[in-house]
A and B are shown apart, each in its own frame.
Chain A
Amino acid sequence: MHKLLLYIKGYEKQALLAPLFKMLEACFELFVPLVVASIIDTGIKNADAVFIWQRCGLLVLLAVIGLTCSLTAQYFSAKAALGFGTALRKDLFRHIDTLSYSELDGIGTPTLVTRMTSDINQVQNGVNLTLRLLLRSPFIVIGALIMAFSISPHLTLLFVAATVIISLIIWLIMRSTVPIYHQAQNGLDRVTLLTRENYVGARVVRAFARQADELANFVETNDHLKSIQIKAGRISAMMNPLTYLVVNLTVIALLILGGREVDTGNLTQGEIIALINYMSQILLSLLRLADLVISVTRALASGMRVNEILNTRTSMPDPQAPTLAPVAGSPAVAFDHVSFTYRGAGAPSLTDVSFIAQSGQTIGVIGGTGSGKTTLIDLVARFYDATEGSVRLFGHNVKEYSFAQLRQLIGVVPQQAMLFTGTIRDNMRWAAPHATDEEIWAALEIAQAADFVRSKPGMLDEPVETAGRNFSGGQRQRLTIARALVPQPKVLILDDSASALDFATDAALRKALKEKTQGMTVFIVSQRAASVQRGDHILVMDDGNLVGDAPHAELLKACPVYKEICLSQLSKEEVEKTL
């Protein structure tokens, strides 16, 4: 946790001055009851008009100084908190950029987004609140106790007792409501779940005419939530009445015990009023402190979550090597007895895989879900490091390349066709910031996307909405293929990226890839036998093992897994027709 405190760097002065000025303000506030006491005891008793004016002038002066201090403190704390938040955000963003796929898988990107946004905002708020208020309340409580002591050491015991009892009440109520609020949150989550479920599944619910049952279920969940909330409300409703009771009982005690002191001349009338004032200041501060503790606890929890990410170290630092030249005569990609196990997984996802892909070849990769197809190609691009064996690219181990060169050599089209807000041109330049329009159009042609891009009013300047919503699934896929082609990579990986294309477009795409990308090694990963069958050779994956590595016709004869896949998708005659 203390690591996060380092982000206050550059704003130490503000972070120190803010609570200091807050304390000053509190000091001036603590003087007010004393001044009022003196007005009563001296001004009124002696009918001294000048004294009264002076003292009231003093009250106004105290208010002005208090305001100044307070504004200064607010300014410094805003400066410090925002400076802190900005630095933390910047660093976290950079840190996320160093994490490898293994770490990203472990953490999950959705939670990274929440930590980056709402968690950091919470922490920033927490810093602001802490600087401004957290120190103020204890200071007022202690200050008021000291002031009370200076007026009457005897009666201070009463103050201490009241303070302890009030703190205890607040603590007990908070402690007993926290788990109930937790339950209520779970109840609310369940309400959200049911709502989402019924909205998304409206077709099925109606198809089976279960609307009434769903409603009954929802009512039951809601009633449950209601009873929890009422229970929590019943307890927290005691906070104000109880503390009010304690404070005013103390006031009664002050009046009676104080009356005795006044009677014996140890105390004045004005001082009694001052003591009552201090008592109410203590109560207000403690109640505010309780609110604050809740917010700060929340900020601490957020801080912990942010810290967790910052403490995650990348398992794959950038080698930052100079650009490597390809070794003459070496294959584009070579796997040598490669095995791979995902972090935390019990069983390997790839076991002892060896194959060679020559420059310019088209390699099909086929197999069922979970058979290791994606894992295989992720190792080519070094998104993960092989657990055993080596992956070589143009004669060098992939670990020897700098990330920059590696990304240049390999173009990836991931399964999910994801586009980014901006224009089509922006998206096409993702991997090649300086690509010309000609290069972009050439890539679009190959990806079978040129036609529909041309038909858009803005052409390359056509805006792309969040996640490419304004394009159909098939269009998105073709654009992501073009995006990978723009920098003219030496190796292109299509990871099941033609699933939304109809057969005709799929075939045209494969044809264009073959004809227009001389020397490019293409990996086509697919579940469709038709998509891979014309590869120079096909890698057949089954449960992490490479069970076939040959052209289509040979595999049909020799590889039972491949044959099974083909026959599940095509009839016997059709399979024969492909030969």
Chain B
Amino acid sequence: MSKPHTKLNRSTIQRVLALIRPYAGSVALTLTLAVITVFTTLLAPVISGKAVDLILGPGQVDFAGLGKLALAMGVTIFCTAVAQWLMNVVNNRITFQVVRDIRVKAFEQLEILPLKYMDAHRPGDAISRITTDVEQFSDGLLMGFTQLFTGVLTILGTLGVMISIDWRIALVVVALTPLSIFVARFIATHTYSMFKVQSETRAEMTSLVEELVGNEHLVRAFGYESRAEARFDRINLDLQKCGVRAVFFSSLTNPCTRFVNALVYAAVGVLGAFAAIAGSLTVGELSVFLNYANQYTKPFNDISDVMTELQNALACAQRVFDLIDETPIVPDAPDAAVLPMGAGSVAFEHVKFRYVPDVPLIEDMNLRVWPGQRIALVGPTGCGKTTLVNLLMRFYEINGGCLKVDGRSIDTVTRDSLRANLGMVLQETWLKSGTIAENIAYGKPDATREEIIDAAKRARAHSFICRLPNGYDTVVAEDGGNISQGQRQLLCIARVMLRRPPILILDEATSSIDTRTEVLVQDAFEELMKGRTSFIVAHRLSTIKNANQILVMKAGNIIERGTHDELLAKGGFYAQLYESQFAKA
């Protein structure tokens, strides 16, 4: 019930029209059908009115004329029914086709959105744009549009017929009808504030419930029940109070507009009756008038509904367009070369990078990594280890300096070929909804089953996969319920194993892996790193000690570097970190 805050935006409308343009033929067809529907719908009461005039009284019934009119009416209503059905079908087609088109456009955008945007926005937002907003847009705009069109046609047609029968009565109807719109609008504007209060209170209630019921375990653990109930009751009572008002006042619209309609009906009754006595109107024509008086106000009421719905729909369309309009990643340079699978050397030369322009992060980073070297990244949480991943994979663009892989600056090669040189196993394991085999072959969709099994074996994942109900064809559940965290990581390792990239970026788990699987992950990592350049975000000292170089990071900067022994001898931050594990309490 939120009132659309955006005005009818001209450019939004133009873009919506552009979306519909490919279906211009269908739109023309549906409009033609709408004209036919409205025309025949209006014709039917006129015919039945004429028929009523042939039934005057005992012995005064013209059966021959009645038969003809019955036939005419039969043809008319048959045309109406067919035209209306076709119109609905064509409308549906256009609507869902357009919905599909927008969704695909939005999804295309999703694939080229910068990660900067995706990291800053919650997924729920984009999802609701692609699902709910698109749905609302289609319901509101496309259905609303035909309703609007037929509504206006009906009003004009009715008006025309009424005027042709008796313009004076028509004038009274025209003068009185807007009353119902005023009444509806009056109620709408006055209930708006009540609805706002209601939806605010409801939002407050929802967040309280989400917080307390969502964490019911904690409520119970801390004996917070009675205080939770007191807080809840307060909001619940507020909600009842404002709810009764909002529900009652908003339900006034229907009875009130119906009341206005009844007044119009009575007025037509009086005037029509007198006109009939005066002989300027037949009884059949009066019945047509009464019939129309009922029909005439309906599209008016519909139109005011449709207008709000249209505005709502445009607001939704705007939200979808906003997503589509987000600046995408800078495309690969036109002359970008394909980086061949190389030896795996990496160089940071005066690299500068900031997430937020005025918050300094990496100011001048220099690092040279030879093929086959092992680099351990060490430091407290939030020290910027993931930033290096973001830069190496070119998920984010550096702000200055140069980042080279195999001697070539990474912005001179295509992203896909750069990433083919890098294998990544992160702590937040992401698996696709699909089978185990599909997931392992994610980086090489044409891999044979033998290759997949071989990769799984080397990633120490084969034995647990074999124990799953359908082996390699087991479907990974959406929430990953059937596979443990550690097993998920093994699958991610197998995924990279299949691609054999020269450079690796590995993220060691801090916790939540059971010890047995952890040993397997360790093994798999070792196997994977054989002969490859690797960057490891390390938490375990044994891994760190085996590295050729340790980068100790703090607040985005490398504060110390060297081998384990060198750093211990130095007695700095690293030494402190190392000793803290063995310090006697």
Contacts and interface: CB of A to CB of B under 8 A. Distances in A.
B577 interface: yes
A11 B385 CA distance: 62
Given A97-B228, A199-B110, A245 B255 contact: no
Which of B202, B290, B515 has most chain A Cβ within 10 Å? Answer: B515
B541 A82 contact: no
A128 B59 CA distance: 52
A428 B200 CA distance: 28
Contact of B511 (A32, A99, A132, A499): A499
Contact of B213 (A47, A96, A101, A201): A96
A56 B270 contact: yes
A117 B205 contact: yes
Contacts of B100: 222-223, 225-226
B84 interface: yes
B104 A218 contact: yes
Given A74-B252, A109-B213, A116-B213, A229 B92 contact: yes
A59 B265 contact: yes
B111 A198 contact: yes
B10 interface: no
Given A113-B209, A233-B88, A201 B81 contact: no
A132 B104 CA distance: 43
Given A196-B127, A412-B221, A116 B209 contact: yes
Interface stretch (B154-162, B173-181, B397-405, B413-421): B413-421
A3 interface: no
Interface residues of A, number: 158
Nearest to A55: B269
Interface string A497-509: 0011011101100
A234 B92 contact: yes
B545 interface: yes
A420 B222 CA distance: 13
B287 A273 contact: yes
A209 B214 contact: no
B585 A507 contact: yes
A311 interface: no
Contact of A570 (B78, B214, B222, B541): B541
A226 B130 CA distance: 14
Interface string B70-108: 100110011011101100110011011101100110011
Contacts of A47: 277
Chain A contact surface mostly: helix
Contacts of A64: 259
Contacts of A315: none
Contact of B85 (A104, A222, A241, A260): A241
B52 interface: yes
Given A56-B270, A198-B110, A89 B236 contact: yes
A211 interface: yes
Given A507-B581, A568-B522, A259 B61 contact: yes
B218 interface: yes
Contact of A474 (B93, B256, B381, B577): B381
Interface string A262-292: 1111001110110010000000000000000
A577 B222 contact: no
B283 interface: yes
Interface in B517-563: 517-519, 522, 540-542, 545
Given A265-B58, A510-B585, A574-B541, A215 B111 contact: yes
Which of A203, A229, A233 has most chain B Cβ within 10 Å? Answer: A203
B110 A418 contact: no
Contact of A503 (B56, B61, B581): B581
Contacts of B442: 204, 208, 210
Contacts of A517: none
B48 A276 contact: yes
Contacts of A262: 55-58, 61
Contacts of A234: 89, 92
A269 B57 contact: yes
A554 interface: no
A195 B110 contact: yes
Interface in B220-267: 220-225, 227-229, 232-233, 236-237, 239-240, 243-244, 247-248, 251-252, 255-256, 258-259, 262-263, 265-267
B104 A233 contact: no
Contacts of B485: 369
Given A192-B127, A244-B84, A256-B66, A204 B248 contact: no
Contacts of B77: 244-245, 248-249, 252
A503 B237 contact: no
A198 B266 CA distance: 61
Interface string A91-117: 001101101110010000110110011
Given A78-B248, A209-B419, A528-B511, A101 B217 contact: yes
B371 interface: no
A203 B395 contact: yes
Contacts of B207: 421, 466
B219 interface: yes
A241 B84 contact: yes
Contact of B55 (A203, A259, A565): A259
A85 B52 contact: no
A255 B70 contact: yes
A100 B63 CA distance: 79
A247 B130 CA distance: 41
A44 interface: yes
A244 B80 contact: yes
Contact of A263 (B58, B243, B395): B58
A259 B432 CA distance: 71
A49 B89 CA distance: 50
Interface in B116-149: 118, 123, 126-127, 130-131, 135
Contacts of A186: none
Interface in A104-147: 104, 109-110, 112-113, 116-117, 121, 128, 132
Nearest to A503: B580
A125 B248 CA distance: 12
A300 interface: no
Nearest to A258: B55
Interface in A226-255: 226, 229-230, 233-234, 237-238, 240-242, 244-245, 248-249, 251-252, 255
B576 interface: yes
B44 interface: yes
B280 interface: no
A191 B381 contact: no
A66 B255 CA distance: 8
A291 to B, nearest CB: 13
Contacts of A534: 584-585
Nearest to B578: A503
B210 interface: yes
A82 B111 contact: no
Given A52-B273, A249-B74, A233 B514 contact: no
Given A104-B216, A206-B415, A49 B78 contact: no
Nearest to B54: A259
B107 A198 contact: yes
Given A86-B236, A101-B217, A574 B55 contact: no
Interface stretch (A35-43, A152-160, A338-346): A35-43
A47 B290 CA distance: 19
Contact of A191 (B74, B97, B131, B252): B131
Contact of A44 (B60, B211, B259, B273): B273
A117 B274 contact: no
Given A56-B273, A209-B420, A569-B540, 15 more contacts: A59-B265, A66-B262, A90-B233, A100-B220, A112-B213, A207-B443, A230-B93, A234-B89, A238-B85, A262-B57, A272-B55, A368-B516, A368-B517, A407-B223, A502-B577
18 contacts: A39-B273, A40-B276, A66-B255, A74-B251, A78-B243, A99-B216, A117-B210, A191-B103, A192-B127, A207-B443, A210-B443, A226-B96, A233-B88, A241-B88, A252-B74, A263-B63, A421-B207, A569-B542
